[in-house]
């Protein structure tokens, strides 16, 4: 199994008041430094190209992100989304990791985890938001379709926040199935069950206070059967770990064992339909210890 990351992803510095910090990625990489991950094939993420980004983003959006390189300090794009000197480069590497991971698993098979930031799933076709600049998982899905000719790419998103950006980008693209569990009400206030795209969007809200039981019942009952029925040729994962009970940004009550559980189920679907091909990319997770233990559980389950 491959692990994609890049030192540039530590140079995106939104500032001390921002929960989406370089310390998150340091915690993830430290957790993956353990002996049990010694067999991971560690690969430096390349940059996404303009062509990769333009498959899902407008030229104006791509230009705006790449042109925002303040010499010092930060530039605020919205209430939550801030860029520093190193942010554009980090965003290119984060999206590029996902593209390279798709190429690797389509070429040689297997699985990959992209330990990158900024995260991506809130970025829409024309807008950065919610800590996200480019939509990494969407860039990966579009690449799998355009470059590898896939007809069925599934994106499973278990971040506690709704992946509104991914939904926005693929709402009329039936070759992509987007399946999301998330807390409602919560930022970004989308993800109702009646938001269905062209039948390719499956939103499954959870309520504040829900935990392991409700999460597993939802995936077992409604979401995993949809994924199975779609028979994805490639499974992408928006892997956010902020539904953990210790996360400061939300009110669900998952533990790291729940992330192992969902990952095993997703892995089984990839084995059944996609020759085992999975590309998972880091989204949220804001309690550093919870993030580290949850990523370790997720990557362990992918490696099994």
Catalytic residue IDs: 122
Token output for 107: 């070429």
Q: Which one, 131 or 230, has the nearer CB to Zn ion?
A: 131
Cβ atoms < 10 Å from Cβ of 146: 12
Residue with the closest Cβ to Zn ion? Answer: 284
Alpha carbon distance 160, 140 (integer Å)? 21
159 binds Zn ion (CB under 5 A): yes
Q: Which one, 183 or 233, has the nearer CB to Zn ion?
A: 183
User: Of residues 2, 143, 161, 277, which one binds Zn ion by CB under 5 A?
Assistant: 161
Distance from the first to the final alpha carbon of the chain: 10
Alpha carbon distance 173, 157 (integer Å)? 17
Q: Of the ranges 25-33, 150-158, 239-247, 267-275, which one interacts with Zn ion (CB under 5 A)?
A: 239-247
Alpha carbon distance 155, 159 (integer Å)? 12
Give the shortest CB-121-to-Zn ion separation in angstroms: 8
Alpha carbon distance 272, 268 (integer Å)? 6
Give the shortest CB-285-to-Zn ion separation in angstroms: 7
168 binds Zn ion (CB under 5 A): no
Give the shortest CB-108-to-Zn ion separation in angstroms: 31
Token output for 231: 């028979």
242 binds Zn ion (CB under 5 A): yes
Binding track over 172-211 against Zn ion, x by CB under 5 A = ----------------------------------------
Q: Which of residues 270-299 bind Zn ion (CB under 5 A)?
A: 284
CB-based contact 41:1 (threshold 8 Å):
yes
Q: What is the largest CA-CA distance in the chain?
A: 51
User: Which residues of this chain interact with Zn ion, rule CB under 5 A?
Assistant: 159, 161, 240, 242, 284
């Amino acid at each position: 199994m491959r692990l994609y990351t890049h030192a540039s992803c530590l140079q995106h510095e939104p500032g001390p008041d921002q929960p989406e910090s370089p310390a998150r990625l340091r915690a993830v990489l430290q957790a993956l430094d353990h002996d049990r991950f010694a067999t991971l094939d560690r690969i430096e993420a390349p940059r996404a190209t303009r062509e990769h980004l333009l498959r899902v983003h407008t030229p104006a959006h791509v230009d705006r992100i790449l042109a925002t390189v303040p010499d010092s300090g930060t530039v605020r794009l919205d209430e939550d989304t801030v860029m520093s000197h190193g942010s554009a480069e980090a965003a290119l590497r984060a999206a590029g990791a996902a593209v390279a991971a798709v190429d690797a698993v389509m070429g040689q098979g297997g699985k990959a985890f992209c330990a990158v930031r900024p995260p991506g799933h809130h970025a829409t076709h024309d807008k950065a938001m919610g800590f996200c600049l480019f939509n990494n998982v969407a860039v990966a899905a579009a690449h799998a379709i355009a470059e590898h000719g896939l007809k069925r790419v599934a994106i499973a998103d278990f971040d506690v926040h709704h992946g509104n950006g991914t939904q926005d980008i693929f709402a009329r693209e039936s070759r992509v199935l987007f399946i999301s569990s998330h807390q409602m009400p919560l930022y970004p206030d989308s993800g109702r069950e009646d938001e269905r795209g062209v039948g390719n969007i499956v939103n499954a809200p959870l309520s504040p206070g829900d935990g392991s039981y409700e999460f597993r019942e939802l995936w077992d009952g409604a979401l995993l059967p949809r994924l199975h029925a779609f028979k994805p040729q490639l499974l992408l994962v928006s892997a956010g770990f902020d539904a953990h009970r210790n996360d400061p940004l939300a009110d669900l009550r998952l533990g790291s064992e729940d992330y192992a559980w969902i990952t095993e189920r997703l892995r089984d679907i990839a084995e059944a339909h996609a020759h085992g091909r999975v590309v998972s990319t880091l989204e949220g997770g804001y309690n550093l210890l919870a993030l580290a233990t949850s990523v370790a559980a997720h990557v362990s389950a992918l490696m099994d």
